[in-house]
């Protein structure tokens, strides 16, 4: 059964924060300005982002469930729509407000819906897409007439100065100017991640009076069975590459225990594998779906930093799936890296831009460095 995205909404909290104001909002670690900030921002090309923080007190203005509910309330798939009309709600996020119950249940609580199927998906950047895929399959199978899928992030909660571990010290500040990927290992996530939420309304019927996006297919491919953990929280990595979670506290050295829930990224692994695994995943999708670059009118990539933009571009050329830059659409510079919410926020902007024409095809690309997974989705404007 065909499934259509009939509306898309995004919610970005508070006022945009420019590069000069980041440390005023998040705070300075040890009251010292970051030495890596300028280098990281120069490479990621982000100019503004949004935080669910009061800039004066650094207290949260929204929790994750509230961000998500705000995005859902912004949906207007038809006149008179209410969240109470939702038959299936699927919510993905990297860091929910509680370990349990599931994030989708907390969102339902915010919305005050009486009865609804609710599904939570976990992960990092791709968990918004796993939520979308479950919603898509639910409608396609005829189990529900509509569904809403969301992606949301509240990164600022663990980027604040009173929470963030000071990774950079005098002893390990290498020449990040000449080797910018090294900066990622320390301050990258602090100057990259930000807050936001997005939601899509799926239906077995397309909009009668305006465009909709028909979902052709969604493919997830993970290399976690072959590669080590790269981005993580809630534990440490041992010297042999094993991930040791917070439950096994006795196996974690005392110096690391206070920082178990800091977000970390193994930058050597990131630089070594994120681009190559993307090429392998895309090659597999191309062979399976029999698509060519000429089929694609818009390429919507979610990448964490502009540092990777030319690397992904060159990899696509290498596997002979070259999409020129004039077909790429991203809002990383103005909206920031919002993880699982990013592709929803990208889609929301282009969906409401007036630039889409019936018959056009959109190829969405979402990489995840957690343990190297990639998602591709093909949409047709109808």
Closest CA relative to residue 328, chosen from 340, 341, 312: 312
Residue 79 domain flag? yes
Q: Is the pLDDT higher at 90 or at 256?
A: 90
- Residue 136, Cβ neighbours under 10 Å: how many? 22
87 and 19 within one domain: yes
pLDDT tier, 174 (very low <50, low <70, confident <90, very high otherwise): very low
Q: Are residues 194 and 328 in the same domain?
A: no
Per the DSSP assignment, residues forming a β-bridge with 153 are 196
Residue 12 falls inside a structural domain: yes
Strands (E), 85-212: 88-93, 117-122, 146-153, 196-203
CA distance 331 to 338: 11
Q: Are 303 and 316 in contact (CB under 8 A)?
A: no
- Could you tell me if 258 and 293 lie in one domain? no
Domain count of the fold of the chain? 3
Is residue 301 a part of any domain in this protein? yes
Tell me the sheet residues that pair with 149. 90, 200
| Residues 23 and 113 placed together within one structural domain of the fold | yes
pLDDT at 13: 98
Same domain? For 185 and 237 the reply is no
pLDDT score, position 36: 78
The answer, yes or no, to whether residue 180 has pLDDT greater than 70, is: no
- pLDDT above 90 for 31: no
pLDDT tens digits, 231-264: 999 999 988 999 999 999 899 988 888 778 888 8
Let me know whether 64 and 180 are in one domain: yes
Determine the pLDDT at residue 337: 97
- Confidence grade of residue 187 (pLDDT, cut at 50, 70, 90): low
The answer to whether residue 208 is domain-embedded is: no
Whether the predicted pLDDT of 169 surpasses 60: no
pLDDT at 163 (0 to 100): 79
Side-chain-facing half-sphere of 301: CA atoms under 13 Å: 22
Domain boundaries, position 245 = 231-264
* Statement to judge: residues 275 and 253 lie in one domain: no
pLDDT above 90: percentage of residues in the chain: 80
Per the structure block, which two tokens stand in for 75?
Answer: 């949906």
d(CA 63, CA 60): 7
Q: CATH number, domain at 325?
A: 3.40.47.10
- Looking at the fold, whether 12 and 40 belong to one and the same domain comes out as yes
In whole angstroms, give the CA distance from residue 340 to residue 150.
9
Tell me if 117 is assigned to some domain: yes
The answer to whether the CB of 192 falls within 8 A of the CB of 43 is no
Q: Write the DSSP symbol of residue 247.
A: T
For 150, the 3-state DSSP assignment is strand
Question: 177 pLDDT band (50/70/90 cuts)?
Answer: very low
In a domain, 339, yes or no: yes
Backbone angles phi, psi at 264, to 5 degrees: -130, 160
pTM for this prediction: 0.93
- Distance, C-alpha 354 to centroid of its chain: 24
Q: Are residues 295 and 364 in the same domain?
A: yes
Q: Is the distance from CB of 278 to CB of 292 less than 8 angstroms? A: no
Task: Please name the residue ranges forming H helices in 290-378.
Answer: 309-318, 332-335, 342-351
pLDDT digits (tens, 9 = 90+) for 347-375: 999 999 999 999 999 999 999 999 999 99
Nearest to 304 by CA among 349, 338, 267: 338
Tokens 């309304």 appear where? 201
What does the mean pLDDT of the chain come to? Answer: 92
Query: What whole-number percentage of the chain has pLDDT above 70?
Result: 93
Residue 60 pairs in a beta bridge with: 53
Residue 62 has pLDDT above 70, yes or no: yes
Question: Alpha-carbon distance 19 to 203, whole Å?
Answer: 40
- Statement to judge: residues 163 and 303 lie in one domain: no
Instruction: Return the minimum-mean-pLDDT range out of 28-32, 51-55, 92-96, 125-129.
Output: 28-32
Helix ranges restricted to H, the chain: 22-26, 37-44, 64-73, 103-111, 127-140, 181-183, 267-289, 309-318, 332-335, 342-351
> Looking at residues 270-296, what average pLDDT do you find?
97
Please answer whether residues 121 and 92 qualify as being in contact, where contact means their C-beta atoms are separated by less than 8 angstroms: yes
Kindly state whether residue 241 falls inside one of the protein's structural domains: yes
158 and 174 co-located in one domain: yes
- Confidence class for position 167, pLDDT limits 50, 70, 90: very low
Closest residue by Cα to residue 286 from 330, 326, 324, 323: 323
Q: Tell whether 329 and 347 lie within a shared domain.
A: yes
Other C-beta atoms closer than 10 Å to the C-beta of 326 total 7
Q: Is 94 left (phi over 0), alpha (psi -120 to 50) or beta?
A: alpha
Q: Is residue 299 part of a domain?
A: yes
pLDDT at position 171: 41
């Amino acid at each position: 059964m065909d499934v259509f995205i009939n509306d898309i909404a995004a919610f970005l909290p508070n006022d945009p924060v420019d590069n000069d104001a980041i440390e005023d909002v998040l705070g300075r670690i040890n009251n010292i300005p970051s030495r890596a900030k300028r280098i990281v921002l120069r490479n990621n090309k982000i100019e503004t982002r949004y935080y669910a923080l009061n800039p004066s007190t650094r207290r949260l203005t929204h929790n994750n469930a509230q961000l998500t509910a705000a995005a859902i309330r912004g949906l207007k798939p038809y006149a008179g729509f209410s969240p109470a009309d939702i038959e299936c709600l699927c919510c993905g996020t990297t860091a929910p407000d509680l370990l349990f119950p599931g994030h989708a249940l907390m969102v339902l609580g915010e919305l005050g819906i009486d009865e609804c199927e609710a599904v939570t998906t976990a992960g990092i950047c791709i968990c918004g897409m796993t939520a979308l895929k479950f919603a898509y399959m639910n409608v396609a199978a005829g189990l529900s007439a509509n569904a809403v899928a969301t992606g949301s992030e509240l990164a600022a909660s663990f980027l604040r100065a009173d929470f963030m571990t000071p990774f950079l010290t005098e002893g390990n500040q290498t020449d990040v100017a000449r080797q910018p990927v090294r900066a990622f290992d320390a301050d990258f996530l602090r100057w990259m991640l930000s807050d936001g939420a997005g939601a899509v309304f799926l239906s077995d019927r397309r909009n009668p009076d305006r465009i909709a996006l028909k979902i052709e297919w969604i493919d997830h491919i993970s290399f976690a069975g072959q590669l080590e953990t790269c981005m993580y929280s809630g534990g440490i990595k041992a010297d042999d590459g094993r991930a040791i979670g917070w439950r096994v506290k006795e196996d974690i050295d005392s110096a690391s225990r206070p920082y178990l829930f800091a977000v970390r990224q193994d930058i050597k692994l990131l630089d070594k594998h994120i681009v190559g695994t993307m090429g392998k995943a895309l090659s597999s999708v191309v062979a399976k779906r029999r698509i060519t670059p000429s089929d694609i009118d818009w390429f919507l990539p979610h990448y964490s930093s502009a540092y990777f933009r030319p690397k992904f571009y060159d990899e696509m050329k290498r596997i002979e799936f070259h999409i020129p830059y004039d077909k790429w659409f991203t809002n990383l510079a103005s909206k920031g890296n919002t993880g699982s919410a990013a592709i929803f926020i990208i889609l929301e902007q282009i969906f409401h831009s007036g630039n889409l024409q019936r018959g056009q095809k959109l190829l969405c690309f979402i990489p995840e460095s957690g343990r190297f997974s990639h998602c591709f989705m093909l949409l047709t404007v109808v």
